Amino acid sequence: MTKQESGSPLLDDVHRVIADRACAVLSLDVFDTVLWRRVPRPTDAFALLGSRMRESGLCPPWVTDATFRRMRIAAEDAARRGRDALGTEVSLFDVWRAMPDGIFGAASLEELVEAEVGLERELTVVDLDVAEVVRAARERDLQVVLVSDTYFTEDHLSRLLDRPELGPLDGVRVFRSNQHGTDKASGLWEIVLRELDRGPEQIVHVGDHEIADHEVPRKLGIRTVHYRRLDDPYLDVLAREKEPVGPSGEHAPDLDDRHGDFGLTSLRAKAVHSGVPFTTSALDVAWRYGAGVLGPVLTGFAEWAAWRAHETGTRRLWCPMREGELLSRLINEAARARGWDVRAAPVWLSRFTTSLAGLDPHDTGAVHAFVRTGYRLTVRQALSVLELQPGDVPGLATELDTVIDNGDIAERVARALTETPHLCNRLAVTVTAARERMIRSLRDAGALDDDALAAGELTLVDLGWGGTIQRQLARALEIARIDVRPAGLYLATDGRAERVYMAGLRAEGYLAQSGHPVNVAATVTRSPEIVEQCVNALCGSLIGYTEDGAPVLGRTADSPSQNAERRTVQDGVLAFQHTWNRYVAASDGAWPDLARPPAARNRLARVLVAALESPTPDEAAVFGNWTHEDNFGSSLVTTLLPADLKAAVPYLSPGDLGDLHMRDSFWPALIAASDTGLGAMARAVADGAIDAEAFDPSGEKHETRLRFRTADDRWHEPIRRRVRINHNGLSFSRLSFEHHDTVDISLAIPGRPAIVRVDWIEARVIAGGRHREQVLRWDKPEDFVGLHYADCRYLGGNLMEFDTSYAAVWLPLARRAGVPAVSSGQITIAFAMLPQSATGMAPRMPVDRKAERAARAARLTDRVRTEYRTAGVRGIAAGAGRVARRKLGDT
């Protein structure tokens, strides 16, 4: 990020004009310029006023915050309408005279007005960047004036503006709309010019309103700076967070009775605007995501972690890498701003290293679970991870390049590694060495120093989810007989953290803990990839340690553009925290914190959940190209917007996105954002405007069913996926299976009587132990013509008619892949269907006889090829004999 001349680039020109003495008068708007409120909209202050007035007995209990707000807005409208020839400008006294009689008891008009002014004094904040402009103007003896559309009296404004940040206001002229009976858009500017007796070119005005502070004075010749608070992209972000932006709109959610929105709405905008123009639109998107979304969330998390450490007397916090570099910096800045004696530092830990350090080499089940943790490792890679050579495990010599993609091969590997005392000992040596190197690294970092040993606790701070590192580290330290129990402070944890609690370990969550609140935990832990990527240091993942405890990192596949965008997101995060801490420091201890109030956590959770549920098209375009690298010894790299699903987007419904497995898509909402129609439907479902079941066919729910046949001629229980029809009238289904000996699969595509147009079927299979998956497609008539149809018919082209709920088309996966069997597969079907009556009495589609004959010939040809490959000429003769006997009735 380029260094700014001031805290806000929007004010850079003003500083230059002042420095050059190129103006005689500095004019400033008051509200949302010199002062801003700790509420999203000015009218939200009325809701807080209702709460205060109930507390003080000035307002009856039945008047809720939202009710009082509506009353206060209506009273101001009525007061303005009732002025007749006097114009629409009113004072605060006029507004309160329009409030209904009898509700506020015996309170005098002065008391009621004083209550509102007192709250405004409490909620308003001096804009520190504008205060710097005021100081610069005074240093050069420039005249300062204030021009405001306001219902406050002169005394009220003097009280609101009496702040140390602004200095004495003696000699500062104030032009108020209610004083002169006209606002800035209707004549106040002419009054200002006349009374100042200045030419318009001698004045520079700074204000937030596009018309009153920019367009109107500029037409008069006054130089203006549009100090905008909320631009269009930021308004779009607020809209997705369900934050009302219209002044008379709905009651704002998550307002604290004393601190409103904690200043978050304004400070997010200030942080977003603090960035310089970027060379690419992608970097601008990344900056906004960091400054406006992740910045406030991570600032709150860091402040909470520092506060929890301060409260429990924990002076050191340890942040596992790769997230630890940024998290420790944020925590240290938070503690410094609040004056807490807490220090955080990165530490090299990962799920992989702690898993290996705590592995029981004699437990076949544990070894099985360990080798399956890596995604599509080959046997050779698994041995390498365990520091074993192929020759060390002779029983696996013929399967070194076999992918561990199913339970059978994982079990064979686990048994081979634990079947002899010699191999168990070799494995024990590897595990012990890995554990000792990890402990050496922790000791060198200071995480296991005398203070930690005396306290008996080591507190980790991480993003979280399941607390896996904490639990595995606890096991490794227990094996090493180090009496230190790891604790954890996390952004969020889900139900998997139950294992941590059942191990007797302390684990706390900021936005969600142990899966509660459900929506927050489910959303964050379903799509954590973007948060992890944005927080990670720009280095490879930790895969081990050297003998002296230094980290050994894997290779990174990130592109230069992805690294630049990630750095920009992190710069935006730091920019928000810097902005937040400026106001913490300026408040002399009075600034609210984000650690304790429930409203702060709820507001920040809404920011993060909305960003994950409804990314913008611009965010999808940038982050969709980011890559995800698997660790645990795997070299696989995938993009956040999966290439294999791009063709499926027109077929997807919001419910289909929810059905996708983590491996199908790390961020399903990113797929929705890439398509206007799907994005609109997904947002409608997320907003509760449409029930997700609206995309189910009417009547009974139906499912696509996949069954697979193994070499022993056994058909296995079906795998099911709900059938939906999306806004395009199209359907999608994705099902996965794993079995080391799969030959064929059957697909009951519609799961009901229906005429189906199959646009394409794609099978991604691991075949014959090959490392790379093989892609098989059926998308042309010649692909469909030779398939076997059970209780369904091929109608020609890509049309099929399914007569029953269990009617299915068979796909010969192994034969198509040219191997004896496949060990796992992912099947994707893109189709459209016309449901038919379940009674079977509806008219049937006419059969294309030519296609039927072609299908029969294709099946016969395919069968002959198979029998010839299997048994040569004798196989063909045997097959012909079977056909003859069937025709003669000889079974």
Tens-place pLDDT, residues 305-346: 999 999 999 999 999 999 999 999 999 999 999 999 999 999
For 60-72, give the DSSP string.
-TTS-HHHHHHHH
The dihedral of CA 773, 649, 730, 661: what is its sign? positive
Residues 558-594: pLDDT tens digits?
788 999 999 999 999 999 999 999 999 999 889 999 9
pTM above 0.85, yes or no: yes
State the residue for tokens 């240290």: 332
Beta pairing partners, 704: 721
pLDDT for 721 equals: 94
Q: What is the CATH number of domain 9-34+127-229?
A: 3.40.50.1000
839-862: burial string, b at 16+ Cβ within 10 Å, e else: eeeeeeeeebeebeebbeebeeee
pLDDT for 815 equals: 92
β-pairing verdict for 774-778 and 551-553: unpaired
pLDDT for 870 equals: 55
**Which residues in the chain land under pLDDT 50?**
1-6, 633-634, 886, 890-891
β-pairing verdict for 507-512 and 485-493: parallel
Residues in the chain: 891
The C-alpha atoms of residue 858 and residue 459 are separated, in whole angstroms, by: 67
The C-alpha atoms of residue 769 and residue 791 are separated, in whole angstroms, by: 33
How many CB atoms sit inside 10 A of residue 305's CB? 30
For 341-403, give the DSSP string.
--EEEEE---HHHHHHHT--TT-HHHHHHHHHHSSS-BHHHHHHHTT--GGG-GGGGGGTT-B
Contacts of 662 (CB under 8 A, 6+ apart): 526
The C-alpha atoms of residue 200 and residue 795 are separated, in whole angstroms, by: 81
State the residue for tokens 């954890």: 488
Q: Which CATH architecture has domain 703-847?
A: Sandwich (2.60)
Tell me which residue of 458, 529, 530, 518 sits closest to 493, measured CA to CA: 518
pLDDT for 854 equals: 61
pLDDT for 889 equals: 54
Contact present, 227 and 207 (Cβ < 8 Å) = yes
Q: How far is CA 599 from CA 41, 420, 588, 594, 606, in A?
A: 17, 59, 23, 9, 10
